[in-house]
Amino acid sequence: MKPWAKREEQINRVMPSTVGLYGDLQGIAGKSLQRRLRGWR
């Protein structure tokens, strides 16, 4: 397996958890989370 293919597989495995975590935090913190994350960009 080429290195980029392995990296892509790792990303595909972690993305659902990351999205779920963001959703959970959004449910707890509400809109204030979105405002704070915009400041990081």
pLDDT tens-digit series, residues 4-41: 999 999 999 999 999 999 889 888 888 777 777 777 65
**Helix extents (H) in 1-41:** 3-29, 31-38
Q: What is the pLDDT of residue 6?
A: 93
- Look at residue 1 and tell me whether its pLDDT is greater than 80: no
Q: Quick count: other Cβ atoms within 10 Å of Cβ 22? A: 13
pLDDT for the residue numbered 35: 74
pLDDT at 3 over 70: yes
How many other C-beta atoms can be found within 10 angstroms of the C-beta atom of residue 30?
Answer: 10
